[in-house]
Amino acid sequence: MAIRNIRKEDDEILRKKSKEVEVIDDRVKELINDMIETMHKYDGVGLAAVQVGILKRIVVIDLYDEKPILKLINPVITKTKGKQEVDEGCLSFPNKYVKVIRPEEVTVEALDENGKKIKVTGTGLLAQAIAHEVDHLNGIILTDVMIPGTMEVISPEDQATPPKKK
């Protein structure tokens, strides 16, 4: 396990489309473990592989709600329902927060780290996190989806409890 370097907002790689994972080998499993460690280190609720410089369609999500950490390989959003206006951050945009419109409910199909097909439906924060991370896999970043003019820069010292980032 290792903490990986998080690519930040101006890094060109964040604009690239990630590629499907064809074989879930030990390198992919190591990457997933490193992504989880890196996400936790920086208090994120989600992380996409591209954010650590790897153009593979892999995301991890942990809402710190006692549920298992979601590990999604080749995720595809198959259904969305409703809308929610939410505050959103991103580990690639430290200390910046924007408002975005996300679906209220998202269904995603993916493979888990054992290559087993999984289907997850999330509402609220989970729906938001899935939508945000799948955007990353398509080279879409926070500034593309934010409601114009809503970006706020908040220094960590100003926050009693900093909002979690994706």
Known catalytic residues?
Answer: 133
For Ni ion, give the closer residue by CB, 90 or 126.
Answer: 90
Pull the structure tokens for residue 1.
Answer: 């396990």
Query: Looking up tokens 């990630």, which residue turns up?
Result: 18
Positions 147 through 166 that interact with Ni ion (CB under 5 A)? 166
Shortest distance, CB of residue 117 to Ni ion, whole angstroms?
25
Position of minimal CB gap to Ni ion: 90
For Ni ion, give the closer residue by CB, 71 or 166.
Answer: 166
Positions 60 through 119 that interact with Ni ion (CB under 5 A)? 90
Kind plus residue range of the DSSP H or E element containing 96: strand 96-102
Alpha carbon of residue 93 to chain centroid: 12
CB contact at 8 A, 62 and 37: no
Residue type, 24: I
For Ni ion, give the closer residue by CB, 16 or 116.
Answer: 16
How far is Cα 36 from Cα 154, in angstroms, rounded to an integer? 25
Shortest distance, CB of residue 132 to Ni ion, whole angstroms?
6
Cross-strand partners of 97: 152
Determine the size of the site formed for Ni ion (CB under 5 A). 2
Contacts with Ni ion by CB under 5 A lie at: 90, 166
